[in-house]
Amino acid sequence: MNILVLNGPNLNMIGIREPEIYGSKTYQELELFLNNLAVDYHFNIEIKQSNLEGILIDLLQYANTRFDGVILNAGAFTHYSYALYDAIKSIQIPVIEVHLSDINSREEFRKISVIRPACKKSFMGEGFISYEKGIKYLLEEGAKS
């Protein structure tokens, strides 16, 4: 199975940005964690991060014919990007929404996920484990297909 992990705005700043919310582990540690999961669970992974909405849309469209699923942490775009919602709806592979923090217990505007209805499943509030749960879900669902 080929999985694309897409990280949105400011994810490259984890470990520096608000460690009381996002933890003290760095983005490089997240990439290492994800690459280790690929080895442990025997799947291919590509990891991308962008602070630009259009690049994330381009990557989702690119993934449609090259990957079996996408893990997406859209960052702040989660709360208002109908363009990302449309991009997710336009592709035929499953997209799993993930978040390091529990967006449902944060500021009111963060409780809204406009992309959630377009995503197959959501995992949040468990730091890096949110990603692992999303990947396991894709691997299990892909095995059923």
Name the residue with tokens 């963060």. 110
Q: What is the pLDDT of residues 79-112, one digit of tens each?
A: 999 999 999 999 999 999 999 999 888 888 888 9
* Interatomic CA distance for residues 12 and 64, integer angstroms: 24
Residue 143 has pLDDT above 60, yes or no: no
**Domain CATH number, residue 71:** 3.40.50.9100
Residue 18 has pLDDT above 90, yes or no: no
Q: Which residue range is the domain that position 21 belongs to?
A: 2-144
Tokens of 44: 């291919």
Q: Please, is 100 exposed, middle or buried when counting C-beta atoms within 10 Å of its C-beta (0-12, 13-18, 19+)?
A: buried
Catalytic sites, residue numbers = 22, 99
* Number of independent structural domains in the chain: 1
- The gap from C-alpha 26 to its chain's centroid, in whole angstroms, comes to 16
User: H/E element holding 106?
Assistant: none
Q: How confident is the model at residue 54 (pLDDT cuts 50, 70, 90)?
A: very high
Task: Please answer whether residues 88 and 61 qualify as being in contact, where contact means their C-beta atoms are separated by less than 8 angstroms.
Answer: no
